[in-house]
């Protein structure tokens, strides 16, 4: 039989328990604390991961919602953009069309004015040539009787003025009140003594005083006279009549040219 020493066994058991307690406090407790701390950290990380996952899910859900709304509104945005582009296109086309029409109208007007000036210049040149030829022909062929008749017409006109236009006669006389009454006569042909006497008598009666006669010769008048007494001027000459005809012809030419160009 084994000889068992119970005291030794008890002592060994006590030593074992003491060793276990020492190991627990020195080693196992720290390991347990570290494990619990690690577990707490892992739980915290898990909670944070779950929270982040939930936030991610919420964000994904919001993005999906935004995506769906964007897709729903995309056609509306595209339609609106197309409409705005179309309006802008028509506006630009309208502005370009208006500008083109303005340029076209201006071009037509410039062309019309250019044609008008060319035609008027050409016809005015022809009229001037015809007038010059007429003046030369009349200068060479106008009878002296025509010159005499034109002088008589001036004197008769002045006498008629005295009979029917006394207000104008009084105006002429007042204009000569403080001036020397000089009668300036430009004649196409030399005046005879009788013609000079008739002119002096006529205009002296108009001025109601004696006048001084000054005579100048100008063959460009062709026939007739140009007379000035103070502010009163009267002319009866072929040159003046031809110039009147020239002005009338040029006015008729302008009217005809305007009618021609406007009818196109």
pLDDT in tens, 206-225: 988 899 999 999 999 999 99
Residue 151 clears pLDDT 90, i.e. is over it: yes
pLDDT at 192 over 80: yes
Q: Distance (Å, rounded) from C-alpha 208 to C-alpha 176?
A: 10
Asked whether residue 24 carries a pLDDT value surpassing 70, the answer given is no
Q: What is the pLDDT of residues 27-74, one digit of tens each?
A: 666 677 777 787 788 778 878 777 777 887 887 778 777 777 777 776
Q: How many whole angstroms separate alpha carbon 217 and alpha carbon 187?
A: 5
Distance between CA atoms of residues 32 and 26, nearest Å: 11
pLDDT number for residue 18: 75
For residue 261, the model assigns a pLDDT of 63
């Amino acid at each position: 039989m084994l000889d068992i020493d119970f005291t030794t066994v008890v002592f060994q058991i006590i030593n074992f328990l003491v060793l276990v307690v020492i190991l627990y406090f020195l080693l196992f407790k720290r390991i347990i604390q570290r494990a619990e701390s690690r577990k707490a950290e892992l739980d915290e990380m898990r909670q944070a991961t779950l929270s982040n996952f939930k936030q991610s899910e919420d964000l994904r859900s919001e993005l999906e919602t935004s995506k769906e709304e964007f897709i729903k509104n995309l056609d509306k945005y595209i339609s609106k953009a197309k409409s705005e582009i179309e309006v802008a296109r028509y506006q630009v086309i309208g502005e370009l069309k208006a500008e083109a029409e303005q340029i076209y109208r201006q071009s037509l007007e410039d062309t019309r004015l250019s044609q008008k000036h060319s035609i008027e210049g050409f016809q005015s040149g022809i009229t001037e040539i015809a007038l010059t030829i007429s003046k030369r022909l009349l200068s060479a062929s106008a009878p002296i009787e025509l010159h005499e008749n034109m002088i008589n017409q001036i004197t008769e006109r002045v006498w008629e003025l005295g009979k029917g236009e006394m207000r104008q006669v009084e105006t002429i006389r007042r204009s000569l009140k403080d001036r020397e009454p000089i009668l300036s006569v430009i004649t196409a042909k030399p005046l005879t003594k009788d013609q000079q006497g008739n002119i002096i008598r006529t205009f002296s009666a108009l001025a109601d005083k004696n006048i001084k006669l000054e005579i100048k010769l100008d063959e460009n008048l062709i026939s007739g006279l140009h007379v000035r007494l103070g502010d009163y001027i009267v002319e009866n000459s072929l040159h003046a009549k031809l110039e009147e005809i020239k002005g009338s012809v040029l006015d008729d030419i302008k009217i005809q040219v305007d009618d021609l160009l406007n009818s196109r």
